[in-house]
Amino acid sequence: MGDVPAGPLLGVHGERAVALLYNGILKDRSPGGGNVLTRAVLKLIRDDLAAAAPDFGDDLAVYGAACRLSEATLKDQGILFRQTPYDISART
């Protein structure tokens, strides 16, 4: 079995990096603790990405509860943000 990521960055596949934000990932279990994409959270992801793949310069897909960055910032930074559903079992 592979190592469990210590932060939100799951890894890099081809030309895309993937990050998953959820409560507790950043050691904060409050309702907004780590599951909302903010500039501070993006910096943590970028720092992890620089350590894991120093030459990476492609797109970043981020999955989380909400995003506080503007559409212009997302586009400029090459970020694809997708909201994760709150309760997948309720959708059946």
**Could you read off the pLDDT of 63-78 as tens digits, one per residue?**
998 899 999 999 999 9
pTM: 0.80
pLDDT tens for 18-41 read: 999 887 666 665 555 678 899 989
Please state, in angstroms and rounded to a whole number, the distance separating the CA atoms of residues 26 and 73. 22
Please state, in angstroms and rounded to a whole number, the distance separating the CA atoms of residues 28 and 21. 12
